Amino acid sequence: MTVKAKIGVLVMALLEDDYNKTSHMRPAATAAAQEIADLLAEYGDVVHPGLIEEEAQAAAAARLFNSEDVDVIVAIELAYTKGLVPARCLLDTTAPVLVWNAQRVRRLGEDDGFDVVMLNSGMAGMPELTAVLIRTGREFALVTSLFDDPDGRRRVGEVIQAAAVRRRLRDARVALVGHPFEGMTDLMYDGLSLRQAIGPVVWPLEPEKVAQRFGEIAQADVEATMAAERARYAVEMEPALFERSVRLALAIESVVKEHHFDAFTAFDQVWLTDPRVGVIPSYGTGRLCEIGIPASPEGDVNTAVAQLILQELAGQATTLENYVIDFDSQAVMFSHDGHGNPALGTPGAVRVKHSIYYHGVHGFGAGFEFAYQPGPITNLALVTVGQGRWRFVISEGELLPFPPRSISAPQTLFKHDTLPVADWCDAWLRAGATHHMGAAQGRWTPQLLHLARMLGIEAVVV
């Protein structure tokens, strides 16, 4: 994760009022609250207002959480707490809520007395807490577990990871060079709706800025990059065209970093007729992915955002596109011409080759050809479904070993975990998925579902 979540910790217990007289438990409850805060520090930066017993303390906690702009509030009851106490905090805040119904003991022992019961009876107040959230229309995540249960802590961590991605999206800037590829309806988007529902702002990046920077890149930097790439990859193209492609890649990287963009997409053909550039940028957009700036082809803003989400979770992400159904293997070939993240390619088998698709005034520019590493994968399509609604379409499966075809493109073979290939295709299409998708190694569906709920958008798992 490039952004750490800021975690508001709301630990509650009713110890003393007109009828309850258990204030002698306050030191133990206060220590337990601090222990919880210390534990959650493993997942991010903790904002801990101390043990909450009364409405005034809950109101102060809300002010603290708001001033610190927390990404998630983790609400825990050590003992029964009147519902108006968490309501006082949660009605005055807007951050996503995780209700952790956590307990310190596995069971009540035969010799355990009231003090043990007191600090392990949070379930008594949980119905009031969750009912407050339901009745006020507040979405929340819920985990019931022992404090020291690894699976419970994993699920808590998944929610907090999603909250960190939500923060990243709120601050993200996506560069768009040119326009989405003409006629591609699933690339059409409403930038203001994207900003409101998902978070990133899309900012036009003029092709002229890159074209000018192209001529300003030092020749020594170009030659050093060419040498470094030849040491890593098999470069199978004309030296002059490779040099031009490297110069374009460095120009794009320079401008993107200068303007603090978090993701990038371009109408790839925008520089083909410009005599200063005159080649396709597939090699450069692949390098952007590798250095941590998600890039999608063809002006596809939505897929650039999907990649950014997956990169935050997995560390690296790429663009994939449906190509050929393999009915014999019950799989689908995924690829994209020239563009892909070489960090996810099979080590030692990444080639840099000229495009066979797009010819500029200076010829065919460089792109990548490799097979993606076999193993588990998560696919994410960010789609619009009409009436201003957004949707995640998510699918998990395995990338199979796949000898790359000589098509100047990254490529792989995707097999769903359980569905026959025809059923997967039907379900993927029924869900409204785009013809591009973001993809990352590993399995990230729980985090993506939490993120969708936090954003208030739909999610379909295929």
DSSP secondary structure string, 21-69?
B-GGGHHHHHHHHHHHHHHHTTTEEEE----B-SHHHHHHHHHHHHHHT
- Token representation of residue 12: 């509650």
Go through 402-415 and write b for each residue having 16 or more CB atoms within 10 A of its CB, e for each that does not: bebeeebbbbbbbb
- Cβ-Cβ contacts under 8 Å for 231 (sequence gap 6 or more): none
What pTM did the predictor assign?
0.94
State the Cα torsion 142-145-151-152 to the nearest 10°.
50
- What's the pLDDT tens digit per position in 290-334? 999 999 999 999 999 999 999 999 999 999 999 999 999 999 999
β-pairing verdict for 331-335 and 318-326: antiparallel
∠ CA 245-440-420, nearest 5°, is 120
β-pairing verdict for 72-77 and 44-47: unpaired
- Cβ-Cβ contacts under 8 Å for 296 (sequence gap 6 or more): 263, 264, 265, 285, 303, 304, 307, 319, 339, 436, 438
Kindly list the distances between the CA atom of residue 260 and the CA atoms of 170, 171, 264, 375, in Å, as whole numbers in the listed order: 15, 11, 11, 33
Q: What are phi and psi of 103, to 5 degrees?
A: -135, 145
- Token representation of residue 355: 């495009």
DSSP secondary structure string, 140-204?
EEEEEEETT-HHHHHHHHHHHHHHHHHHHHHH-EEEEES-SPTT-GGG---HHHHHHHT-PEEEE
Segments of the chain scoring below 70 in pLDDT = 18, 112, 114
State the Cα torsion 343-207-438-393 to the nearest 10°.
170
Q: Report the percent of the chain where pLDDT is more than 90.
A: 87
Element spanning 445, H or E: helix 445-455
Cβ–Cβ < 8 Å for 263, 300: no
- Token representation of residue 389: 């609604």
Can you give the pLDDT at residue 106? 85
Can you give the pLDDT at residue 391? 97
Pairwise CA distance, residues 9 & 31, whole Å: 14
Kindly list the distances between the CA atom of residue 92 and the CA atoms of 19, 88, 128, 362, 451, in Å, as whole numbers in the listed order: 28, 7, 17, 60, 21
Can you give the pLDDT at residue 122? 83
Radius of gyration of the chain (CA): 26
Can you give the pLDDT at residue 44? 97
Pairwise CA distance, residues 171 & 201, whole Å: 8
- The domains found in the chain, sorted by start residue, are 5-170 (3.40.50.10940), 172-461 (3.20.14)
Can you give the pLDDT at residue 398? 98
Q: Is 449 helix (H, G, I), strand (E, B) or coil?
A: helix
Residue type, 47: V
- What's the pLDDT tens digit per position in 33-90? 999 999 999 999 999 999 999 999 999 999 999 999 999 999 999 998 999 999 999 9
- What's the pLDDT tens digit per position in 4-17? 999 999 999 988 77
| Helix (DSSP H) and strand (DSSP E) numbers for the chain | 14, 19
Beta bridge partners of 382: 392
10 Å CB burial of residue 64 (0-12, 13-18, 19+) is: middle
Can you give the pLDDT at residue 387? 86
Can you give the pLDDT at residue 267? 95
Q: Is 422 helix (H, G, I), strand (E, B) or coil?
A: helix
Can you give the pLDDT at residue 129? 95
Pairwise CA distance, residues 145 & 87, whole Å: 23
Can you give the pLDDT at residue 63? 98
Can you give the pLDDT at residue 108? 80
Task: Tell me which residue has tokens 């801990």.
Answer: 48
